[in-house]
Amino acid sequence: MLSRIDHVGIAVRDLDRAIQTYERLLGLRVSGRERLEREGIEVALITIGESRIELITPLNPESKVEKFLQDRGEAVHHVAYATDDVAASLERAAAGGAQLLDAVARPGTHGTRIGFVHPKSLCGVLTEFVEPDGKPGT
């Protein structure tokens, strides 16, 4: 059901500065940016091989990413796994005893569908399931 690591999400305080750092130090380039007002975040995607890095910054003080930054500072925020069926992946995790943050799939960046599992269920790591929209580059 899970096919690969889709992306690693990294919480950052200044998105433009983080992009410049990844470009300067690693030679990586941003393949897309998107604001998710409903989530209170802006993300920049950096493609590397078949996976991506997702740099995430809060847009407002109520954002969950803002709370994460206050508690932990800039750091890995989550690991996302590609799946062909987010609903089935959430159901399987729940059936195994996982605490879900999303009972049903919801819209993610670039037309994807996503769902999260609480970090308490997976060794302290916030885990995301990502179902691509089928378009190249997503």
Tens digit of pLDDT for each residue in 57-108?
999 999 999 999 999 999 999 999 999 999 999 999 999 999 999 999 999 9
Contacting residues for 95 by C-beta, under 8 A, at least 6 apart: none
Q: Give 54-123 as a 3 state SS string.
A: EEEEECCCCCHHHHHHHHHCCEEEEEEEEECCHHHHHHHHHHCCCCECCCCCEECHHHCEEEEECHHHCC
**Number of independent structural domains in the chain:** 1
Amino acid code (one letter) for 74: E
**pLDDT grade for 134, boundaries at 50, 70 and 90:** low
What pLDDT does 30 receive? 97
pLDDT band at 109 (very low <50, low <70, confident <90, very high): confident
Indicate whether 11 belongs to any domain: yes
Residue 53: closest CA among 9, 22, 83: 9
**pLDDT at residue number 132:** 81
In a domain, residue 97? The reply is: yes
**Does the pLDDT at position 16 exceed 70?**
yes
Residue 136 lies in a domain: no
CA 98 to chain centre: 19
CB neighbour class for 119 (10 Å; exposed up to 12, middle 13-18, buried from 19): middle
Would 41 be classed as within a structural domain?
Answer: yes
Please indicate, yes or no, if residue 137 is contained in any of the structural domains: no
Do residues 69 and 9 make contact, with C-beta atoms less than 8 angstroms apart?
no
What is the per-residue pLDDT for 48?
94
Range of the domain at 19: 2-131
Has residue 85 been placed in a domain?
yes
- CATH number for the domain that contains residue 7: 3.10.180.10
Mean pLDDT check: name the lowest of 34-38, 62-66, 131-135: 131-135
Q: Is 17 helix (H, G, I), strand (E, B) or coil?
A: helix
- Assess if residue 30 is contained within a domain: yes
135 has pLDDT over 60 = no
